[in-house]
Each structure stands twice: as structure tokens, then as C-alpha cells.
Structure 1
Amino acid sequence: MPMTMAQEEAEKYPIHRCIFQGSIKTLSSLIRTHDITEKDKQGNTPLHLAVMLGRKECVQLLLAHGAPVKVKNLAGWSPLAEAISYGDRQTISSLVRKLKQQTREQMEERRPNLVAALHQMGDFYMELKWDFQSWVPLVSRVLPSDICKIHKSGASIRMDTTLVDFNDMRWERGDISFIFNGDQKPGHSLTVLDNKAKLFQRVRHKETELEIEDEVDILMSSDIMAAQMSTKGITFSRAQTGWIFREDKREMVGAFHADFYQINGMVLESRKRREHLSEEDLQKNKAIMESLTKGSSQGFKNGEPPLRRASLNPPPESNITWDEYIVAPPGQCPLLGRNLVYKESSKSFKATVAMSPDFPLTVDMLLNVLEVITPFKHLSKLRQFVLMKLPPGFPVKIDIPILPTVTAKITFQEFAFRNDIDPELFQVPSDYFEDPMRDYDAYMIMMMVLHNASCV
């Protein structure tokens, strides 16, 4: 007797089905012969389902076999986001560890090509000017600006900046240099200098247990956020100038001729979930985040370990059957965990980009540089923008959204290929002291957690 369409659907995705049914024995068998990265109709991987349904043993087995953590379903959420919602601390901690491991492995896979590209690129000095603006009255008056100075020699890059962090209308000033030496081993390739205090630290390749647990506390204490610049509907049209006789806008940007384009259809989409937070959490949240984002780990006080956030009581057991789940239309996933507390917003931006055919660097070369120097959210946003299909030339002047209320105007105001870059720029000065207590590692972790919403 032929199967109905519903029965045919129910027979698909055997790994998803056995997780839904809670069969660790069946999963142990299927995991050897089936693709654990496969997505079902809702875009959920087996790891998504295991997390949302609270199948802890299935989660650990999938992670042991390399199930990807940084992957989103149709609703735009990763397994880590769903784990934060579910609230089991051990599961969140396991996913954070695996995410970091997978990120390191992916970076190491790309590293040889990146280093080779840097070697092939000419040595240069470059300046990026950042001017932050807001449509909110009076806010633009107090927003910061910065000039990033970048030296490149061989496979080494040095970036000097005074704008250390920028988040939710707060920023931190300093005099910081990041030095990347591509020919060094991974654990010794990145150094941070504090030029005011004359201190340095080698950024470790792996986080400590204390840093991991601090990060889990942050995730459990704060909103689950996702923000992205939507590029689906973006088009470019030539910017016009003149009151009566209109003509295409062309101007000099620094020493470079540039054609100006309007960017049409740029939208910043942001989504926020907080079903895992109590009213008390929301009151405490601001103070916790301000403390942690200063780059200071909670540490041990009076010899006592810090007070960690406990797991939440699990949500009620889902009464959705596999058959009901699998026949649900795409994008209408039945509720498997907590009732969502959800807010979504989008804002359209009017922006321009100036493209120069004269600029001596190519966009591909710029991406190679930015991949090395993007622990900061504003540089990461620039890299996302440059990945778009831009008009011909090099983007010497760009407007991009950084936050829903803040845009940045980036100008490549200086660039020169040079063969006289001082090699000492990529070394720690002899009068600097190592400061293992200054937690740049934790600081960079916090930044990545707080602004890199794609991780969650």
C-alpha cells in the first residue's frame, strides 16, 4: 500500500527523528553512516533539535562527532542560541567550547592561504578614518572618531588604534596596538601592546576554564541577539550633483579620483530574545555587562570561586510528535522549548560609497588584511560590507550601519606602498613589560560574544 505524503515526510531525516524520539542507541548507530550536518525543512540540524528538546546525551554525542555549532536554522538561530533559551549550563558550556574549537580549526585551515596572500601583497602604510554619526538628536555631538594606522610588511601587520571598544553608545579610549606575525606559530602570532602603560601580552590560542565560565555567565545573563546587514535587496545607482544640470558625482577622496554611488535598500535587521531572563535578571543585567565588558574577568575573590549562574528549570516537555513536527510548513516550526519573548526591528539606511579606480589596493587584498585585524565590531562590519558585490573600483569612502542608531563614515585617507617599513614596528619594544594579569584574551572574548551576533 503506497505511503501518504505525510508518511513519506515522516520517513525523512532519520537522525532528526531518532533525536526527536530520544533514542541515543539509534543515534550511535546512524551517526556513522548519515550526515549530521543535514538540515530539515525548518533549517534545523540534528544538534538544533537535540538542544531544543533537552536531549543532553544526544548533544554530547553529536559534538563528539563534530556537529557544527555555528549554523543557523530558518528562524536565524544557532544551536547555541537555543541552548541559552533552554538554560542548561553544561550544554551551553559544551557548545561554547566546541564553537571555539571549530572556529580555531577553520582559521587554521585558512591561515596558510592568508599568510601566502600577505606575502604576495606589497608592503604598505594605510590610514582609515572613522567618523561615527547618529540620527538621534545630540548624540552625534558626543560620538567618537578614530584614525586606524596600519603597517604591513611580509606576513606581518600592525594596527594602531585609540578606539578600543564601541558598544551601545559607550566607548573606551586607549592607545593600543595589535601586532600579527603570520610566520609565527598560532599561539605566538598575535600580541597586544598598551602603549600608555608600556605593557604587552601574547594573546593565547586557547581560553582558560575561568574565561569559558565567565563567557557562559555573560550568555546566560543577557539577551540572545542577532543583528545583520541585509544585502538581499541592495542596489547601487550613480549619485547626482548639480541643481539644474544634473551629472554623475565625481570627487577627489584624498589623493584618489572617485565615483560616488547611492546604496539603495540597505537594511539593518536586529532580533532579540529574552525568555530565559527573569525580571530580576533584567534589573541586574546592565551592571553585570558593564563589569564584564571592561575586560576584567570575575576572578577569585578572597580565595573563593565566583558565584556562577545556575541552570534554569527546563521548559515543559514538548508534546509535539515527530509526525506533527515534520509536516509543519517551512518557517512555521512548532514550539519545542520555552515560549518566546521576542522582539524584531529593522531600519533602512541611506548610504553612499565612493569607488576609485586609482586606489593601489584591490578589494581582495583588503579582505585579506581585514581578516587579520577584525576583533573589533566596526572593522568586522567593514569586512561584511566589502564582501558585497560593489561597483567597479575600490571603496575609498563608505557609509555603513554599526548599530541601529549609529552609522560610520570610513575614509581611506592615505595609502602608500613602501619598502622602508621599519621591522621593529612588529616587535615588542624592549622597555615594555609583559602583563599576564591584563586580560586581553577575556576582553577579546567579551567583544566577540557581545557584538558578533552571528555566533549566536
Structure 2
Amino acid sequence: MASNGEPFKLHKAVFHNDIRSLKACLNARGVDVEERDCHSLTPLLLAAKLGRLDCAELLINSGAKVDAKSDDGWSVMDEAVVYGDRELVEFFVKAGYNQATTDLKELKPKLEEALKKVPDFTLVFQWELSSWIPLLSRVLPSDVCRLHKCGSHLRMDATLQSITDLRNRRGDLSFFIDCTDISHVIVADNIRHVKEVLKPQLSSKYVTESTSLRLSKDVVHSFISTQPIELIRCRSGWLWRVDKEECVAGYSCPVYDITGVTLIQRRRCEHLTEEDVKRLKSLREKMKRGDGDDVDDEDGDAAAAAAAAAEGESGAESSDGSALEVPFRASRPAPVTTATWSDYVNSASGGLPDNVGRTPVVSQDRRQFKPTVALSDKFPIPRDLLLDILELFTPYKHFHKLRRLVSRLPPGFPMKVEVPLYPTITLKLAFQEFKTCSHPASMFTVPNYDTGHVFPQQRR
């Protein structure tokens, strides 16, 4: 709570859009910009919910975290999107991008510490997002990657270059990281002999299209509940059933089903028009039926764009192989907040009062599923150390969901994991080879290629 006996001073200033009071509160000694009010909202979450752009700018400049979430799981960006103001969403796109850059720098000490504790090695692993739906199965990516470590240097060789015509475009790519400076990654195309420095870049085109895409689709919050979970040993055979084991990367691994895991998916659509809701509902129904041939080009492109945007990617392509152009999306009329501050702070037990921002329109799906994991207690490197290293290369944010699940498992390294992320999408990760070895320094020297674009650029 705030000082001087009055609770939630920052929130009150945001609620009334009182910039002078907010500045005074932020300048006070001992102020907590991440304080939670009676509805579990930080001041920045409340600013996003009420469309207070000026307040949001002050809070961000004072160190407020743009990745904050309410107890219900809705993020600052989620609240900004459902409010429907384009300028507000654009601001949080930029703020989120800048915070991601800072988070990457903060990862450096953790990565350096992990590298000191492991010998030089080569690791081969395969990852894929798979689906039983024909259209999605063609779009979703996969790859076999080879990760090499020598001192503070990492190199990963991969083949997935882009997604074209609803298919994965393959190449021969090498990523180079000097872990004494992880602010950028150098990627080399060994077929076209070009290299590119991958730096966080915040172009106006990225901001414009990312904002339009967010405003044109529903907000989705998915999380995996693992409380409580239980491991059940898988068995095989007909007459004489025995405990199942798999040989993964040369290690004999007992295989377990994990029970008690529930996927919960919640959607909000109060910012969408009736036409938007009908279009998205129609597309989801087609995809649930697996009618890949019945999805037209526009819907297929929209699905690919949505998948890319959800992962923070900006290189999605349409069915003709060119980068997607996202139609401009204007702001929605601002909702009217008629509730008073007294209504807000006195309604904690019954939830938010009516007419605070846009009235939530929430749907929820729950589904229990059984991930499968093959564990080895003979793997020579502790799993947390190797996961620290792999996190730098993992191209999809779902790695964090996988990591949270793995952290709940008993001792042993997960050599093979299959996790249903969504009702139609499963993440599969399997290690194929691991060996400690020395590498020549030349292996980690960036090739002297011409500078160019390794990945497809968005058309202008």
C-alpha cells in the first residue's frame, strides 16, 4: 500500500488520469510501481485497461514492467488490445520490444555461468510443432539442430529458413554467438554465401503491422496447470506387459505418461466487431474439422500471420511466397468508464465493477491431456544448465511452458518430451546425439560472406 495511510495512490492517479498526482507519487521515496491493488492489477495494467496513454508512458519511464499480468492471466498488452485504441497498442508494442532487448542483456550472466560448468560438446536435437489438422501440419515448423559449444562460443547449425506457400523452406544456416556479447546473433547462409547480423530492430512498419494484427484478432491466454501431477510408467506388450523403455541418443530411458496436466485456454473479444467474431469463429471451425482444402487463401494467410505474430515473429509469408501485408486497423470507439474510484476499490470481493474500461467478454476451454516424457538419470549434464543454453536458441516462446513442466519432473534429464500446447498443436523435442569433444577455433569463426538478407524481407 502507499504511504500516509491512503491505499493505492498510484492506481488512484491512473484511474482519474491525474498526471500531476501520478508524477508526485512516482517521485515519492519508496514508491512501488509494481504494487498490486485489490483487483491484482499493477498501475500499468490499470492504465492499459482504462486507455491512459500518458499515465502508461510515465509508469514505463519509472521502471514499470510491461510483461506484468493480472491474477487472471491477462497481460498489459492484452488489456490495451481489448481497450481498442491504436496509439495505446503501438506504444506497448514498442515498450515490449525494448523490454525484450533488456531481458536479453540480463540473460548474459546466467548463460556465462552455465557455460563455465559444462565441457565443450556437440548436441543434436529435433524440435517440431505438429498437428493432426492438414493445413496446420503444413504450416507448423520443425527442424533438426546441431549445437556446438567451445568455451564462451556457441554455434548452431539449422535448416529451417522460412515458411513459403504453407511449406517449410529449407536451407543451410549457421548461427554464431559470442557469449561475452549476446546483444546480437550472426546468422550465415552457407548456400547463398551471405551473412546477417540479427539485432533487435524496431521499424515503423513492424509497429504498424503488429498493431493492426493484434487489433483484428481475439486475445488468447493459454496456460498449463500442473498442480498436482503424477508420473505413470508406460507399459508395452500384449500378453506379457513390461515397463516401456526407449533408446534416445544412446541412453536407455524409461517412458512416463504425466497425468494431472490441464490446458486452460481463455479468449476475449470485446474489442472486435461482429464481422470479426464471425470470421474468426468460421476459421476455427474449419481448422477443427481439418478442412484444409476448404480454407481460402485469405484465411490461410491470416492463420499464418496470426501464428507468426503470436510467437513474436515478423517473417510470415502468404501463399504466393511473399511476406504478408496486414490491413490497417483503426481504433475502436473508446468505452465510457462511469464507475467511481470508490466503486472500484470497494468491489474487490465481487470482482471489477461494471463500466471500468470495456466490459470483458470471456470464453474458456479446459482440456486435460497426458504429456509423455522419456527420462535418463545417466545424462552427463544437469538439465537446468543445458536448458539455460538451449533457451537462447529456442525460437518459440512455448519453450518456457515446456521448461515449467520439466521443472516439476523428478530427477533425470528429459531426453524426449511431447507436450500438447493447444488442442490442435503438440510440441515435440527429442535429443538425438550428445558427445563431449574439442572443436577447432575455426568452427566458430564467422564466414567472410557478403552482408545481405538471410531471411525473406517483407515486401514494400
Into which bin does the TM-score normalised by the smaller protein fall? 0.7 to 0.9
Aligned partner of 1:426 among 416, 436, 444? 444
Kept after mapping to 2: 8 A contact 1:129/1:146? yes
Find out whether 1:231 has 2:226 as its counterpart. Answer: yes
Give 2:177's aligned residue: 181
CA separation of 1:252 and 1:296: change in aligned 2, threshold 3 A: closer
Unaligned runs of 5+ in 2: 280-297, 309-313, 319-324
Give 1:69's aligned residue: 66
Kept after mapping to 2: 8 A contact 1:318/1:337? yes
Aligned partner of 2:371 among 337, 344, 351? 351
- Cα deviation 1:236-287 (Å, max 9, x = unaligned): 2333445566654344334112222220122222222222222455657764
Aligned partner of 2:14 among 7, 13, 19? 19
Give 2:396's aligned residue: 376
Kept after mapping to 2: 8 A contact 1:74/1:331? no
Give 1:109's aligned residue: 106
Give 2:337's aligned residue: 318
Give 1:91's aligned residue: 88
Give 2:282's aligned residue: none
d(CA) in 2 for partners of 1:415, 1:142? 29
Aligned partner of 1:54 among 51, 62, 74? 51
Give 1:3's aligned residue: none
CA separation of 1:159 and 1:348: change in aligned 2, threshold 3 A: farther
Output the aligned Cα RMSD: 3.5
CA separation of 1:17 and 1:370: change in aligned 2, threshold 3 A: same
Kept after mapping to 2: 8 A contact 1:124/1:415? yes
Q: How does 1:56-205 map to 2 (within 5 A)?
A: 56-130=53-127, 133-134=130-131, 146-164=143-161, 172-175=168-171, 177=173, 179-183=175-179, 185-187=181-183, 189-205=184-200
- Per the normalisation by structure 2, the TM-score is 0.80
d(CA) in 2 for partners of 1:39, 1:250? 48
CA separation of 1:190 and 1:141: change in aligned 2, threshold 3 A: closer
CA separation of 1:100 and 1:330: change in aligned 2, threshold 3 A: farther
d(CA) in 1 for partners of 2:100, 2:138? 38
Aligned partner of 1:219 among 188, 197, 214? 214
Q: How does 1:225-264 map to 2 (within 5 A)?
A: 225-241=220-236, 243=238, 248-264=243-259
- Structure 2 counterpart SS, 1:173: strand
CA separation of 1:141 and 1:55: change in aligned 2, threshold 3 A: closer
Q: How does 1:363-402 map to 2 (within 5 A)?
A: 363-377=383-397, 379-386=399-406, 388-402=407-421
d(CA) in 2 for partners of 1:24, 1:244? 75
Kept after mapping to 2: 8 A contact 1:267/1:349? yes
Give 2:288's aligned residue: none
Kept after mapping to 1: 8 A contact 2:159/2:170? yes
CA separation of 1:306 and 1:137: change in aligned 2, threshold 3 A: closer
d(CA) in 2 for partners of 1:342, 1:116? 43
Unaligned runs of 5+ in 1: 1-9, 299-304, 444-456
d(CA) in 1 for partners of 2:267, 2:147? 35
Q: CA deviation at 1:84?
A: 1.0
- Per the normalisation by structure 1, the TM-score is 0.80
Q: CA deviation at 1:195?
A: 3.7
Q: CA deviation at 1:190?
A: 0.2
Q: CA deviation at 1:19?
A: 2.0
CA separation of 1:145 and 1:117: change in aligned 2, threshold 3 A: closer
Kept after mapping to 2: 8 A contact 1:214/1:297? no
- Cα deviation 1:91-150 (Å, max 9, x = unaligned): 212222222222222321231231232243211111113465545699879987532222
d(CA) in 1 for partners of 2:138, 2:106? 44
d(CA) in 2 for partners of 1:331, 1:200? 57
d(CA) in 2 for partners of 1:69, 1:241? 48
- Structure 2 counterpart SS, 1:108: helix
Q: CA deviation at 1:12?
A: 2.4
CA separation of 1:130 and 1:374: change in aligned 2, threshold 3 A: closer
Give 2:434's aligned residue: 415
- Cα deviation 1:260-319 (Å, max 9, x = unaligned): 222012222222222222245565776456468571799xxxxxx99743322211x222
Amino acid aligned to 1:410: L
d(CA) in 2 for partners of 1:330, 1:123? 56
- Structure 1 counterpart SS, 2:344: helix
Find out whether 1:43 has 2:49 as its counterpart. Answer: no
d(CA) in 2 for partners of 1:229, 1:267? 6
- Structure 2 counterpart SS, 1:31: helix
Q: CA deviation at 1:416?
A: 0.5
Find out whether 1:435 has 2:430 as its counterpart. Answer: no
CA separation of 1:344 and 1:200: change in aligned 2, threshold 3 A: farther
Amino acid aligned to 1:63: I
